[in-house]
Structure formats: structure tokens, C-alpha cells
Amino acid sequence: MTYYHNKLKKIKNHGSISFMKIKYNKKNIILKLVDESDETINLLYAWRKKYRKMFATDFRMSKEKTRNWVKKIILENSTRILFIIYVDNKKIGSIGTAVYNDKTNTANLDTMMKDPNYTYPGIMMVVEKVYLKWMFDGLKLSKITGFLFSDNIKMMNLHKMCGFTIVDKIPLKHVITNDGSGWEKIESKPYNEIAERYFNLIELTRENLMKNFGKIEFKVLK
């Protein structure tokens, strides 16, 4: 088991306690490991439903499926972790890590969502910057990777402000699945199918992150 896997295991063994504290203006931001409470499940279900068009797969959603996803895909999975973002003790979003590649020592920024009813300028950028710094320092990653739809302009702009760059653009076609639908890479070259959407593949180095990190007050508690 790699350092990455061991680190995630240790964090999960502590349970859903305060993991990271960020001070932003007059706001107290806390990141805690995702929990299986009804409140958290209901919020994740609502956020995933709200942003369903920005995910690679769409399916018949339910709160029970969401609970099973938290338990099996996150908490019992050695390669993934998800934190709930609290602002002044209110759950306002999530941010996580997934898709670890031990050959390149890279991992994806994953499942970054914000409650659409909560607004406070700049708060998600601060959370993302601090979380990315922890991914480099706490997980000892060489690079951070990710992908998102090219038409998700708001999120792409946020990632760029954190130092991400676009390294490739992947053509996609819409496909029907047994449980809904999804987006699939067009494999053939030259492409003989018309792309319906594109994925931006993005990556980040620690150097690019720190160029515009600024002075952010934060502390990793565990």
C-alpha cells in the first residue's frame, strides 16, 4: 500500500471530525470527512441532482443510492476521499480526491460542489486553493489532474485561477445506459463521429498553485 493509500486510511479511521480549518474574512471554514447522516445524504443528493448535467454519467437517482455511494465508493474505497465543507457550522459543499495513479503519483480533484443557495464571494476559490495545497503537501502528489466539460465555464475559470492548465480536449458522444445515460470518448481517429460535447483534461503543478496562492490562514488539524 502506498503513502497515498495509507494517508487516506488514517484520515478515515479518525471519522468525521474537523480535519482542516480555514479563516476567510470573518468566515470560519471547516472540512470534515463525509458522514452518513441523513442531513449529509440529503444534501449530497440535492447537489448531485442540481449539477447532474456536469457529471459524466446521469442515472436514476435516489437517496438510498447516494448513501450507498458514500459508504461503498468513498468510505470503503482506499483510493478516494470526500470532505464536507462547513461555513460557520453550516454544510455548504463538498470537495474530494480520486483516481490515484501510482505510476505518475497523480490524483484527481473530485466532486467539488457548492450549495446553490449559499453565496459568499470567493469562498470556493479559497477552499480549492487550500485543499489543493494539502493534496500536494499532505498526500505528496507530483501533479494534480482533473477533467470537466468544456462548457462548464464558471468552474473552469475557477480552476484556472488556482493554476490549472488545459492539457487536452477530448471529443465525446452521448450514450444510453441501463440506468440512464452518459458521455463516452470518441475513440476513432480521424474522428468520423461528430462530437456532442468535450472534456477539458486539466493538470496542476505545485509551482503553478503557489504563484497566486496569496496569504490564506489555514491549519490542517489531523
Nearest to 3 by CA among 205, 141, 207: 141
Within 13 A of 162's CA, how many CA atoms are on the CB side? Answer: 29
Separation CA 146–CA 52 (nearest Å): 17
For the whole model, what pTM was predicted?
0.94
Judged by DSSP in three states, 143 sits in: strand
3-class state of residue 18 by DSSP: strand
Contacts of 155 (CB under 8 A, 6+ apart): 54, 112, 148
Residue 176's domain spans which residues? 3-220
Task: Please state the φ and ψ torsions of residue 81, each to the nearest 5 degrees.
Answer: -150, 150
Q: What pLDDT tens digit does each residue of the chain (222 aa) get? A: 799 999 999 999 999 999 999 999 989 999 999 999 999 999 999 999 999 999 999 888 999 999 999 999 999 999 999 999 999 999 999 999 999 999 999 999 999 999 999 999 999 999 999 999 999 999 999 999 999 999 999 999 999 999 999 999 999 999 998 888 999 999 876 656 789 999 999 999 999 999 989 899 999 997
Instruction: Give residue 180's pLDDT.
Output: 85
Q: What is the pLDDT of residue 155?
A: 96
Q: What CATH number is given to the structural domain containing 141?
A: 3.40.630.30
Domain count, the chain: 1
Say which amino acid occupies 125: M
Q: What is the pLDDT of residue 192?
A: 63
Type of residue numbered 10: K
Q: Are strands 106-114 and 143-149 parallel, antiparallel or unpaired?
A: parallel
Sheet containing strand 90-101, strands side by side: 57-59, 180-185, 165-177, 197-204, 143-149, 106-114, 90-101, 81-87, 27-33, 18-24, 217-220
Phi, psi (deg, nearest 5) at residue 198 = -135, 150
How confident is the model at residue 177, as a pLDDT?
87
Q: What is the full DSSP assignment across 150-170?
A: TT-HHHHHHHHHTT-EEEEEE
pLDDT of 190 reads 60
C-alpha cell at 44: 449530497
pLDDT at 126 (0 to 100): 97
